[in-house]
Structure 1
Amino acid sequence: MCEGIHAGRGVALVATFVAALAAGGCSISFPLGSLLGDDDVTATSSVTSAPSPLSPELTAEDWRRAKAALEVALDPFGNGSSASWDNPETGAKGAFLPLGQPYVKDGDVCRAFLADLTLQVGSQALQGTACRPSGGGWSILEVKPWRKSV
């Protein structure tokens, strides 16, 4: 009879050990860089992305200010007028003008816009589309140069 109790404890102990080992396996971590050669790490670590989808000339602070103006201009409940921004530190400035009415695409609210940017490299006129998921912020889906009609 004692052998049955000891055998039951042994099975329970093994089951606990296996469960702990399986759960612990989910928390094992190691540096991913160790899987890459030194050359690979150097090559990928030097790649940086521009802070703004509008222009690589915009700094992160320029984009923060521009994005706030973009959100005001594209607001579906707003008055449809343009919203401007500027950064006195860099001299960059611009304005967004919503085009047409907001529309729904794949469950997101979208709106076309025109953007005028004045940067150190010169002025740029852009045309784009941005979308916003319910309760989220605006993301620019596409942007391209806009040529004003003469």
Structure 2
Amino acid sequence: MLPSRSNERPAALASLAAELGPEDMRRADGAMGVALDPQGNGAAVSWDNPQSGIKGSFVPVGGPFLRSDEICRAFIASVQTQSQPVKLQGTACRPSGGEWAVKDVGPWKGLS
């Protein structure tokens, strides 16, 4: 898993799939924020970009937790790019009142 500095939020989302353009990242970022919201219902949140044909979803895993004065939550992300589906797992955190930032992400390990 690759750590990401919090000021590189769009670049961290780009790591979910190298084919994501700026509008794909914007849509994915919005879906991630809704999915990981501690006040949310824990359901998957989907996004799509009709212009690029890329779509995906974020599923929160477990409840929110504190790490270094930030609210964090694990997630599974699915992205369907033009070339292939990608499924990843990671953790995102945000300071109080701040934006979510992906802290680590890697290939989904699934159930063994």
TM range (shorter): 0.7 to 0.9
Give a deviation string over 1:71-111, Cα, whole Å, max 9, x none.
00000001011100000000000000000010000000000
Query: Are residue 115 (structure 1) and residue 77 (structure 2) matched?
Result: yes
> Which residues of 2 match residues 1-150 of structure 1 at below 5 A?
52-149=14-111
- Contact kept in structure 2, 1:94 and 1:117, CA below 8 Å: yes
Structure 2: runs of 5+ lacking an equivalent: 1-9
Q: Whose RCO is larger (CA < 8 A, sep 6+)?
A: 2
Question: What's the TM-score once normalised by structure 1's chain length?
Answer: 0.64
Question: What's the TM-score once normalised by structure 2's chain length?
Answer: 0.85
Q: Going by fraction, where is strand more abundant, 1 or 2?
A: 2
- State the 4+ residue runs in structure 1 displaced beyond 2 angstroms: 147-150
Q: Going by fraction, where is helix more abundant, 1 or 2?
A: 1
- Contact kept in structure 1, 2:17 and 2:86, CA below 8 Å: no
Equivalent-residue separation in structure 2 for 1:147 and 1:139 (angstroms): 21
Structure 1: runs of 5+ lacking an equivalent: 1-48
SS of the aligned residue for 1:70 comes to: helix
CA RMSD after TM alignment: 1.6
SS of the aligned residue for 1:86 comes to: strand
Equivalent-residue separation in structure 2 for 1:101 and 1:149 (angstroms): 19
- Give the aligned residue type for 1:94: G
Number of residue pairs the alignment of both structures matches: 102
